[in-house]
């Protein structure tokens, strides 16, 4: 793998629509050229068709100038809002993957294929000469593992054996093997662990992956530590949170009553009125392999952590953004309170002052990675002391920061720990 690419700092106000603005930030390389280009293009974007057109134009221009990383990220950004069945979607996805491999010194032959069900999972592994630990990383509801190359390189440079993978419903596993997403993530992680013969694992999931990581850790004993970036305890709540409150209340009631026809009528009207609803529901059905909005929305209720968080016995790091536009802040408190059997739970809320306030800390990714590595280093020191049999400090005072207040509080900005 090529040397680690530098991370930039800054969350920019490109567009008044919060979701569009987030995606523009997400797929910017953060360079002054990229910030200027996106700032100029943003006023021409009023819907997703505009978005796709403008980002494809930026991608072509960046590639023409030899700026492969920018070209790839713009292309992925354009592809993000292409609906399933768009003839340009596959072409864009494949060129994005090829370009990211080029930038990070990877090759198609580096992609591992892991038998799973009726298809294959995908993975890349890079390892330090004498790794200090093993990390297994994966994305969420709408990411490709090639987006994690920079993060993989960061942990590789820090001395870790690093595996990134795509499970059902993600990237090429969905688009090429046709495996829809599943909430039963334990067997998915187990397949990756068994394929590589991994042990002593830190498992990290991004976005919806934060939910899936908890679900996997509750069932897979080979996981030693868990990182949720971000927390996501209830995908149904997050999904329904994207529609107006009156519609949300009606859908919640009708879904509980299993009123299939009524839910499909309401969502059909919502899709005709709202671009984000139309895109989100169609993409959701595609990702989960469901036939109707009702089936998709009912299925989201399976993606939760309350039912099995008490079975998680590992050390856990929970990360959240102070102004996450996607995941409600109350879900952090719920996740913390439900991890009653964890060996330790550390919470870190990243803030606007740090340019890391939004979902998965777009704007200051490197800070979140620094928090993770510091957390793992601290646990290594703690465990070395215990293995050597040296005297330890009093309970709750072993070099870790003890929980000082409720994690849902807006003032919580430093690492804190709750020890069970």
Give the pairing type, strands 119-126 and 161-166: antiparallel
Distance from C-alpha of 223 to C-alpha of 21, rounded to nearest angstrom: 36
Query: 399, 381 in Cβ contact below 8 A?
Result: yes
pLDDT, position 311: 97
| Whole-number pLDDT of residue 5 | 56
Same domain, 242 and 94: no
Which of the listed residues 103, 122, 143 is the one where a domain comes to its end? 103
97 and 214 assigned to the same domain? no
* Alpha carbon distance 182, 170 (integer Å): 10
| Cis, bond preceding 230 (omega within 30 deg of 0) | yes
Domain end position, chosen among 75, 103, 131: 103
Specify if 13 maps to a domain: no
Q: Are residues 201 and 313 in the same domain?
A: yes
- Three-state secondary structure call for residue 17: coil
Sign of CA dihedral 253, 259, 262, 265: positive
Q: Are residues 192 and 274 in the same domain?
A: no
| Residue 11 within a domain | no
Asked if residue 230 lies in contact with residue 360, where contact means CB atoms within 8 angstroms, the answer is yes
Q: Give the domain extent around 271.
A: 236-300
pLDDT tens, residue by residue, 104-157: 999 999 999 999 998 999 999 999 899 999 999 999 999 999 999 999 999 999
Measuring CA to CA, which residue among 265, 260, 345, 327 is closest to residue 295? 260
Residue 395: the pLDDT is 35
- Token pair in block for residue 5: 């690419």
Among 64, 80, 103, the domain-final residue is 103
**393 part of a folded domain:** no
260 and 351 part of one domain: no
Structure token pair of residue 13? 């106000």
User: Rounded to an integer, what distance in angstroms lies between the CA atom of residue 162 and that of residue 133?
Assistant: 9
Q: Find the radius of gyration of the CA atoms of the chain.
A: 21
Whether 223 is covered by a domain: the verdict is: yes
pLDDT at 230: 92
Count of CB atoms situated within 10 Å of the CB of 2? 11
Considering the domain architecture, whether residues 120 and 188 belong to the same structural domain is answered as: yes
If the chain, 420 residues long, is cut into consecutive pieces of 10 residues, what is the mean pLDDT of each piece? 71 95 96 97 95 98 97 97 90 97 96 95 95 97 95 96 98 95 97 96 98 97 96 96 87 96 94 82 95 97 97 98 95 97 97 96 97 96 76 37 33 42
Tokens (6 digits) for 315: 């050390």
As a whole number of angstroms, the distance between CA 409 and CA 118 comes to: 45
Residues 174, 25, single domain; the answer is: no
Determine whether 219 is exposed, middle or buried from the number of CB atoms within 10 Å of its CB (0-12, 13-18, 19+). Answer: middle
- 246 and 164 within one domain: no
Burial class (CB in 10 A: 0-12, 13-18, 19+), 399: exposed
Strands 223-229 and 315-321: parallel
Residue 35 within a domain:
yes
Identify whether residues 290 and 338 lie together within a single domain.
Answer: no
Q: Please state whether 92 falls in left (phi above 0), alpha (psi between -120 and 50) or beta.
A: alpha
| Residues 261 and 358 both lie in one domain | no
Q: For the chain, what is the domain count?
A: 3
């Amino acid at each position: 793998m090529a040397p680690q690419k530098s991370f930039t700092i800054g969350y920019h106000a490109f567009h008044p629509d919060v979701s569009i603005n987030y995606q523009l930030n997400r797929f910017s390389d953060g360079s002054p050229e990229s910030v200027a280009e996106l700032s100029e293009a943003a006023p021409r974007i009023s819907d997703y068709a505009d978005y796709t057109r403008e980002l494809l134009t930026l991608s072509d221009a960046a590639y023409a100038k030899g700026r492969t990383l920018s070209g790839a990220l713009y292309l992925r950004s354009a592809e993000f809002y292409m609906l399933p069945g768009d003839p340009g979607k596959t072409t864009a996805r494949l060129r994005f993957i090829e370009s990211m491999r080029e930038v990070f010194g990877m090759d198609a032959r580096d992609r591992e294929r892991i038998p799973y069900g009726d298809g294959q999972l995908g993975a890349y592994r890079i390892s330090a000469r004498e790794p200090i630990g093993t990390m297994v990383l994966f994305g969420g509801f709408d990411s490709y593992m090639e987006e994690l190359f920079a993060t993989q390189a960061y942990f590789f440079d820090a001395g870790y054996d690093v595996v990134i993978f795509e499970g059902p419903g993600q990237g090429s596993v969905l688009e090429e093997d046709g495996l829809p997403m599943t909430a039963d993530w334990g067997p998915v992680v187990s397949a990756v662990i068994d394929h590589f013969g991994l042990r002593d694992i830190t498992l990290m999931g991004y976005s919806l992956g934060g939910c899936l990581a908890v679900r996997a850790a509750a069932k897979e004993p080979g996981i030693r530590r868990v990182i949720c970036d971000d927390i996501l305890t209830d995908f149904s709540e997050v999904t329904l949170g994207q529609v107006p409150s009156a519609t949300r209340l009606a859908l919640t009631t009708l879904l509980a009553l299993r009123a299939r026809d009524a839910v499909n009528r309401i969502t059909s009207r919502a899709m005709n009125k709202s671009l984000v609803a139309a895109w989100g529901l169609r993409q959701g059905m595609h990702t989960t392999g469901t036939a109707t909005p009702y089936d998709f929305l009912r299925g989201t209720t399976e993606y939760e952590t309350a039912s099995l968080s008490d079975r998680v016995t590992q050390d856990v790091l929970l990360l959240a953004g102070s102004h996450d536009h996607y995941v409600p802040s109350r879900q952090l408190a719920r996740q913390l309170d439900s991890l009653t059997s964890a060996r330790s739970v550390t919470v870190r809320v990243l803030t606007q002052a740090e340019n890391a306030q939004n979902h998965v800390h777009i704007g200051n990714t490197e800070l979140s990675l620094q928090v993770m590595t510091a957390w793992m280093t601290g646990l290594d020191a703690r465990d070395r002391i215990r293995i050597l049999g040296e005297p330890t400090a009093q309970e709750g005072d072993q070099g870790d920061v003890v929980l000082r207040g409720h994690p849902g509080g807006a003032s919580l900005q430093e690492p804190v720990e709750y020890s069970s």
